[in-house]
Structure 1
């Protein structure tokens, strides 16, 4: 099937160097059958880690969700609408960001909810409410990292620094964010790409894993590489001096090994757009003729 899709666009299987997709079991199995390395989507991996972190707060989150469900009932919604235009938001258990939105909405309308007598018994109080407010502050921090991961300029080194910091701060998330986590399909390949990006020397085993990326070295111009004016800013933002490699890589690698996409967000957005455009009225349209 994969080969057939490639043929529609005059592409060959030999042109495929790697896969970038979510870390689900299906994608890992496909990568194994195709004998291709899978670079797991950083956003997908991060979302799974956040869901694991939220599991410890499930009783409190379930209470807020029950409150939101009650507020969405017709009579209660009409009563709440007398005091605010903000609508109650339920969470989607498969999308942690919806939990974040639900929590923000809960904080914004909590005082007004007390005006709705029918839901008074569902309003969290005491220690539960305090825990929810603390969780909301943590979710704000986690959301900022999630947004950063979706940026086009983020590098593999940036992702590794962010993941390591989050794993150190939240042990529950470490099982998904560590370099050798079970969810990672090709941990050695991922580490090698990180070394190539930072011009670290590879071992013989590591070099074999990226043999397909080796290219002929460019002709030397005889001029030394000047230090970029942004290096100092990067070091400051990184919180310290960058680690220097013990030796330069002995081979030259394709630029793809340094700039490959770390998330499948762009493709997923494309599929979402196609879903709205390729409706039942256009179901007979061939994929080769579909344009965005």
Structure 2
């Protein structure tokens, strides 16, 4: 049928029938005219999503505030729920996610043993439980932290000290 759109081939078709195939129209003016109308209709929602996106990039935003924002976005725009919910496909560990949410919302009493195991590698060592160490001992601990499965950054996050 595509070959019958060519002018030479259309003449052969015209000898047999009065019907002719439609020509391909490169410019779809109808959709071009409705595009600004669609934009005006969704402009306010675009501005809301943009405002949340800008706020998420701030350094001062806490994890619990991010979770609240994402939950509100999922309520406002239900189509985003599969992407923003705590059990979204992108979440690698649902147990870890739920534990972090409970900790961020200051609901540590609700942590299950599974939750505690999931966040145990990130628990900070409190100074009350650890005898005071000299600066040299802390520095040596930091440089030796690479042994085993831990890297320097993980050991630094676990320690309560500020980097010197």
TM-score, with structure 1 as normaliser: 0.32
**Counterpart among 46, 59, 63 of residue 156 in structure 1:** 63
Report what 1:225 is aligned to.
none
Report what 1:211 is aligned to.
120
Change (3 A) 1:134 1:198: same
**Contact persistence 2:124–2:157 (CA under 8 A):** no
Unpaired stretches in structure 2, ≥5 consecutive residues: 1-25, 130-154, 159-164
**Contact persistence 2:74–2:81 (CA under 8 A):** yes
How much is the aligned-residue C-alpha RMSD, in angstroms?
3.1
TM-score, with structure 2 as normaliser: 0.54
**Contact persistence 2:95–2:115 (CA under 8 A):** yes
Change (3 A) 1:168 1:121: closer
**Contact persistence 2:73–2:80 (CA under 8 A):** yes
- 1: CA distance between counterparts of 2:126 and 2:59? 27
Task: Give the C-alpha shift of residue 129 in structure 1.
Answer: 3.6
Misfit runs of 4+, over 6 Å: none
Paired residues for 1:158-173 under 5 Å: 158-173=65-80
- 2: CA distance between counterparts of 1:203 and 1:171? 30
Matched positions, count: 106
Paired residues for 1:166-185 under 5 Å: 166-185=73-92
Aligned to 1:137, the other structure's residue is in SS state helix
Report what 1:188 is aligned to.
95
Aligned to 1:210, the other structure's residue is in SS state helix
- 2: CA distance between counterparts of 1:203 and 1:122? 54
Task: Give the C-alpha shift of residue 183 in structure 1.
Answer: 1.8
Task: Give the C-alpha shift of residue 123 in structure 1.
Answer: 4.2
Matched, 1:200 2:107: yes
Change (3 A) 1:184 1:219: same
Change (3 A) 1:133 1:160: same
